[in-house]
């Protein structure tokens, strides 16, 4: 492991130039003055061997990686900045004539971190500074944003052909050669890409789909039952997935493309973990979702997570709020009366979580309440056609197991196996004068209640309060500004720079670390140097 210089070179320092020109609240100044405390070489010691040639100092690598993410640079652009930009040299603590390094070292450093026991140590180190400065309180805001995939979305034909090529590449040369003898289509399958075809001719397209699928199934049958390596198994599973999700046999046994989209459809063989996603019903994207939790007061990012584009926002909530969901030991055995006595009433000390309706699940609400956190997450209201009665217009008493409709009819609730409840008003709807406002179904109105209806109903009523709305509108939008900071550059912001969920997750955490550093610099936060024993 290489080590960074502890002191400036008296004759080759860039401090004099940068110190006078760079702003007091700049991220470059913070890194220059305290980079040795933030990213000390010893922090990365586990990534290096005790033998071999000296490497680039870890502090230099970490600083370049952070500034690269902050400015949305490619690897080659980042090392060029270190070569020619005095601010980079100042931030890294190197002399003005210090050489840069090859851009592939950034790839290697990211791989070392990803395969280590602490892949997000840079983000954690920056967050620790914020915590020591008392900038991380007990109020969080959670949200997500789309991260567009770094590869092109492939159509069905390209998916199947590329998956076939992927299997042949994963196999050893002899097995691949034997397998090619089983394939009937006139295609060498030597490189990935879309096959040639008269795409305007429907018959030619249909024949291509059928022939490709025949070859795919021939490969799968030939490899079935064989002992395969991990890479071979992965390639074969991908082939089976893309064929099974998009193609079916018609009544004549001819394979054709299925109409519609499979629920968890693989969209690229280059990045099999990416998915179709939707932020709204009208706006879709391909790739991943970046989730973050932000301190409501300081706007410091406290946690990040990345999921496939089709994952629900609530699925990442537990990871984002892990520190909030930890129940203190002294609170585990409290009675409800004890909990009320210990409940914080001061707005500065009360634990709260804010989020939009995509986080408003009954499970998360109950988790937060169980940990003594006030759940200010919106709960989705019951849906109904415009001008018609919704579930909220019915009086529902789960304790008495009955429901009353707007016309005054009462029926008993029927409990299903999954814990949900059904209220069937069908027998009373035929002659009801309010039927047109209630249902268009011939069998009458039926209401199905969530298994945790009481929790959802309690929070729906709470969020109708004007004071609650005012507080929510005051706090919740702050996370949107932070997302704007993260996404301000397309390359490495909205558009992912790498492939695969783990790589995107690591990159997103590094981006969050750079934004946190910029926030600390703007607030004038500095670390106290370690005490020196005399």
- For residue 398, what pLDDT is reported? 86
Q: In the structure, what pLDDT confidence band is assigned to residue 279 with cuts at 50, 70 and 90?
A: confident
- For residue 214, what pLDDT is reported? 94
**Interval 370-395: pLDDT, tens:** 999 999 999 988 887 888 888 888 99
Residue 534 has pLDDT above 50, yes or no: no
Average pLDDT over residues 132-143: 94
CA neighbor of 4 nearest in space, from 50, 49, 51, 45: 45
- For residue 160, what pLDDT is reported? 94
Q: Tokens 């409940």 map to which residue?
A: 343
Mean per-residue pLDDT over the chain, rounded = 89
| Helical pair 501-522 and 121-132, crossing angle rounded to 10 deg | 30
Q: In the structure, what pLDDT confidence band is assigned to residue 262 with cuts at 50, 70 and 90?
A: confident
Which residue ranges make up each domain of the chain?
1-119, 156-257, 276-379+463-486, 391-455
Buried b (16+ CB within 10 A) or exposed e, 331-345: eeeeeeeeeeeeeee
**Interval 58-82: pLDDT, tens:** 999 999 999 999 999 999 999 999 9
**Interval 402-412: pLDDT, tens:** 999 998 999 99
The token duo for 518 is: 């910029």
As a whole number of angstroms, the distance between CA 429 and CA 437 comes to 11
Residue 182 has pLDDT above 80, yes or no: yes
Average pLDDT over residues 121-148: 94
Q: In the structure, what pLDDT confidence band is assigned to residue 344 with cuts at 50, 70 and 90?
A: very low
- For residue 15, what pLDDT is reported? 83
Residue 350 has pLDDT above 60, yes or no: yes
Residue 293 has pLDDT above 90, yes or no: yes
**Interval 453-468: pLDDT, tens:** 899 989 998 998 999 9
User: 334 forms bridges with which residues in the sheet?
Assistant: none
Contacts with 532 (C-beta within 8 Å, 6 or more apart), sequence order: none
Tell me whether residue 115 is exposed, middle or buried, using C-beta atoms within 10 angstroms of its C-beta: 0 to 12, 13 to 18, 19 or more: exposed
Q: In the structure, what pLDDT confidence band is assigned to residue 514 with cuts at 50, 70 and 90?
A: very high
**Interval 424-440: pLDDT, tens:** 988 888 889 888 888 88
- For residue 529, what pLDDT is reported? 64
Question: Which of the two residues, 197 and 122, has the higher pLDDT score?
Answer: 122
The token duo for 438 is: 């209630």
């Amino acid at each position: 492991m290489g080590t960074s210089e502890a002191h400036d070179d008296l004759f080759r320092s860039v401090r004099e130039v940068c110190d006078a020109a760079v702003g007091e609240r700049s991220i470059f100044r913070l890194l220059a003055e305290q980079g040795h405390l933030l990213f000390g070489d010893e922090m990365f010691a586990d990534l290096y061997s005790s033998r071999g040639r000296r490497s680039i100092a870890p502090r230099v690598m970490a600083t370049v990686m952070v500034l690269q993410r902050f400015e949305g640079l490619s690897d080659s652009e980042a090392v060029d900045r270190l070569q020619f930009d005095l601010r980079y040299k100042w931030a890294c603590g190197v002399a003005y004539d210090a050489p840069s390094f090859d851009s592939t070292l950034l790839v290697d450093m990211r791989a070392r971190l990803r395969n280590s026991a602490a892949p997000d140590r840079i983000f954690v180190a920056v967050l620790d500074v914020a915590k020591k400065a008392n900038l991380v309180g007990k109020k969080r805001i959670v949200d997500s944003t789309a991260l567009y995939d770094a590869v092109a979305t492939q159509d069905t034909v390209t998916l199947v052909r590329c998956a076939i090529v992927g299997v042949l590449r994963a196999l050893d040369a002899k097995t691949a050669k034997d397998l090619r003898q089983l394939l009937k289509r006139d295609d060498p399958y030597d490189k990935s890409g879309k096959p040639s075809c008269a795409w305007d001719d429907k018959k030619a397209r249909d024949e291509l789909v059928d022939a490709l699928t025949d070859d795919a199934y021939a490969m799968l049958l030939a490899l079935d039952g064989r002992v395969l390596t991990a890479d071979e198994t992965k390639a074969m599973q991908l082939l089976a997935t893309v064929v099974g999700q998009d193609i079916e046999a018609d009544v004549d046994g001819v394979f054709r493309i299925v109409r519609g989209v499979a629920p968890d459809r693989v969209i690229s063989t280059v990045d099999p973990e990416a998915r179709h996603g939707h932020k709204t019903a009208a706006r879709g994207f391909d790739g991943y979702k970046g989730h973050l939790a932000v301190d409501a007061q300081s706007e410091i990012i406290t946690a990040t997570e990345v999921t496939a584009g089709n994952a629900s926002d609530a699925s990442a909530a537990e990871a984002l709020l892990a520190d909030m969901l930890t129940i203190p030991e002294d609170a585990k055995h409290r009675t409800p009366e004890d909990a009320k006595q210990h409940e914080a009433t001061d707005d500065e000390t009360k634990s709260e979580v804010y989020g939009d309706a995509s986080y408003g699940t009954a499970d998360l609400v109950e988790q937060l309440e169980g940990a003594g956190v006030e759940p200010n997450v919106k709960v989705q209201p019951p849906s109904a056609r415009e001008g018609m009665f919704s579930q909220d217009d019915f009086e529902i008493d789960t304790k008495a197991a009955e429901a009353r409709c707007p016309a005054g009819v009462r029926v008993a609730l029927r409990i299903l196996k999954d814990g949900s409840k059904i209220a069937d008003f069908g027998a009373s709807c035929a002659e009801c004068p309010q039927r047109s406002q209630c249902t268009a179904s011939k069998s009458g109105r039926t209401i199905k209640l969530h298994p945790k209806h009481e929790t959802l109903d309690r929070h729906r009523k709470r969020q109708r309060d004007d004071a609650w709305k005012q507080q929510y509108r005051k706090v919740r939008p702050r996370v949107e500004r932070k997302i704007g900071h993260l996404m301000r550059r397309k390359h490495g912001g909205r558009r992912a720079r790498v492939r695969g969920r783990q790589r995107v997750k690591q990159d997103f955490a590094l981006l969050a670390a750079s934004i946190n550093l910029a926030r600390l610099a703007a607030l004038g936060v500095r670390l106290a140097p370690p005490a020196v024993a005399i």
